[in-house]
Amino acid sequence: SAVISQKPSRDICQRGTSLTIQCQVDSQVTMMFWYRQQPGQSLTLIATANQGSEATYESGFVIDKFPISRPNLTFSTLTVSNMSPEDSSIYLCSVVAGIVYNEQFFGPGTRLTVL
Amino acid sequence: ELKVEQNPLFLSMQEGKNYTIYCNYSTTSDRLYWYRQDPGKSLESLFVLLSNGAVKQEGRLMASLDTKARLSTLHITAAVHDLSATYFCAVESGGYQKVTFGTGTKLQVIP
């Protein structure tokens, strides 16, 4: 399995500001994923982050709004830029890891509230 | 585009009863996951189903996968209050390791 930590666990921010969320994994992984879960909703993939290359964004998400860094095989950041109340969500990072077979593990999430 | 549908969206059941949550998906899958999410918490992995006919059981929960029908089920046996949570299925497809989540089923078990 993989142990994932995220910082911060929660934050309350003013509209127009930006927040950077950190994701740390206890083992080296090729791909890391960032998801958003809006209140009462399911999870939606924002982007896939590979080390050494630019992130791949899903439809509806753009780099200017959600810039991602992936400086090494155990760490990634997601920035939520120029925030509005609609960005209030839980943001989760995930990785694929495993010994017998690969499976997807999720971090504890960052609960963001934008006022 | 892969679509994953769950039903029901909301399920209220009495303790001791049995019920099944269904997960349908629109394209071939590499693997299928079931997760549990408690309010305000992250996702807890319940099952990973890798192949057609796979069946896994843990306690009062049993998951199965029929890749030909593109259907997975999560069966709850003799429900207890502690099972109250939201359950998500998620499908990994296309070989890219990213998953698409279902809508979720909010389960409420009433004592």
- Give me the torsion for CA of A78, A25, A28, A22, rounded to 10°: 20
Using the structure block, give the residue that is written with the tokens 């009433």: B110
Q: What is the pLDDT of residues A93-114, one digit of tens each?
A: 999 877 677 788 999 999 999 9
Q: Is the Cβ pair A42, B40 closer than 8 Å?
A: no
DSSP letters, A45-76, are EEEEEETTS--EEPTT--TTTS-EEEEETTEE
Which of A115, A114, A112 lies closest to A9 in space, CA to CA? A112
Across the range A61-90, mean pLDDT stands at 96
Sequence-distant (6+) residues with CB within 8 A of B98 are A33, A45, A48, B92
Which of A27, A111, A34 lies closest to A68 in space, CA to CA? A34
Tokens describing residue A15: 């509209």
- Give B47's contacts in chain A (Cβ within 8 Å): none
Q: What is the pLDDT of residues A15-54, one digit of tens each?
A: 999 999 999 999 998 889 999 999 989 999 999 998 888 8
Q: Is the Cβ pair B96, A44 closer than 8 Å?
A: no
d(CA A64, CA B85): 35
The neighbouring-strand residues paired with A40 are none
Using the structure block, give the residue that is written with the tokens 């029908």: B69
Q: What is the mean pLDDT of each run of 10 residues along chain B (111 residues)?
A: 92 95 90 93 91 90 94 96 96 81 95 88
Partner-chain residue, chosen from A42, A102, A111, that has the shortest CB–CB distance to B103 = A42
CA angle, residues B63, B20, B62, in degrees to nearest 5: 25
The answer to whether residue A106 neighbours chain B at the CB level (below 8 Å) is: yes
Backbone phi and psi for residue B8, each to the nearest 5 degrees, phi listed first: -80, 170
pLDDT for position A17: 97
